[in-house]
Amino acid sequence: MPTLVAVIPHPDDESYSFGGTIALAARAGWRCVVICLSAGEGGERHDGGPADPASVGQARLGELARSCSALGAAPPLHWRLPDGGFATAPGQSLKLSRLLAELRPSVVLSLGADGAYGHPDHLATYRWVIRAWQSMREVRPALLLAAFPAGLFLPQYEKCAAGGLDCVPPALVPGSPGPDSPHYSIAITAVRDAKLAAIAAHRSQLPGGDPGALFPPGIISALLESERFVDARGFRDEATESMIATWETAAD
């Protein structure tokens, strides 16, 4: 059974970034494993439960497990790095490379160089994943990095920056494809309900329990038709395109 691994910084990043792709691969018979680097204990809580960091983190890990179940993924793996403090956690790329060598994925999914909206933990995750992937000498999986439409997450960046989070404005890495020219665009309408269920599983993060309230208006609706990726190898790969086509066909 081939394996897909998704590496995310916080619970819920799997759902909006590439939940549809995970669901497609799972329906095609792949083992899908989500590695979550923190419990997201620094997040706000909107479900009326205890709001101390330990309680928030515990609730969010439970939500992550339910999200993975909705997508057809295996129970998630989590490291409990400090939410918002990835910069103080050295050595993670080596740890990640060892875990990837153990899991032997054919495909790895993660966030791109702009971290969606410049969240510092997202940017650290990108750097660790790239270094881990580059260190894999014998069998290097395809590494697909989420590429969101230009400007889509600007409202979320502005919201986080206004709240005091030290975000980097969303920007492209020089020489890389722009967000409007990804290497792959994966149709996910066949698994739209699974992606929505995964987002809804993160109830503590949703004002009123509404999946559309995870981000400022308009963002979630834009993420329910397709998911776009940049290939870390820098080019569109025919074998990867063929693999994606089998996922899409299996869901029809």
pLDDT 10s digits, 84-103: 899 888 889 999 999 999 99
Residue whose structure tokens are 């998704």? 6
The residue among 187 and 216 whose pLDDT is bigger is 187
Categorize the per-residue pLDDT at 29 as very low, low, confident or very high, splitting at 50, 70 and 90: very high
Report the percentage of the chain scoring pLDDT > 70: 95
| Whole-number pLDDT of residue 98 | 94
Categorize the per-residue pLDDT at 178 as very low, low, confident or very high, splitting at 50, 70 and 90: low
Residue 233 burial class via C-beta count within 10 angstroms: exposed 0-12, middle 13-18, buried 19 and up: middle
Q: pLDDT at residue 176 above 90?
A: no
Q: What is the mean pLDDT of the chain?
A: 90
Interatomic CA distance for residues 103 and 117, integer angstroms: 29
Task: Return the amino acid letter for 122.
Answer: H
Categorize the per-residue pLDDT at 160 as very low, low, confident or very high, splitting at 50, 70 and 90: confident
pLDDT 10s digits, 208-229: 888 877 777 888 888 899 999 9
- Which stretches of 72-225 are DSSP H helices? 92-103, 115-118, 120-134, 154-162, 192-200, 219-222
Residue whose structure tokens are 């706000």? 44
Check if the beta carbon of residue 128 is closer than 8 Å to that of residue 100: no
The residue among 36, 35, 62 whose CA lies nearest residue 49 is 62
Range with the lowest mean pLDDT among 111-125, 210-224, 233-247? 210-224
Categorize the per-residue pLDDT at 40 as very low, low, confident or very high, splitting at 50, 70 and 90: very high
| Whole-number pLDDT of residue 152 | 76
For each of the domains in the chain, give its residue range(s) and CATH number, in order of start.
3-251 (3.40.50.10320)
Categorize the per-residue pLDDT at 172 as very low, low, confident or very high, splitting at 50, 70 and 90: very low
Check if the beta carbon of residue 116 is closer than 8 Å to that of residue 153: yes
| Whole-number pLDDT of residue 170 | 64
Q: pLDDT at residue 180 above 60?
A: no
C-beta pairs of 204-211 under 8 Å, 24+ apart in sequence: 204/43, 204/45, 204/46, 204/47, 204/49, 204/56, 204/59, 204/60, 204/63, 205/12, 205/43, 205/44, 205/45, 205/46, 205/60, 205/63, 206/46, 206/47, 207/46, 208/46, 209/47
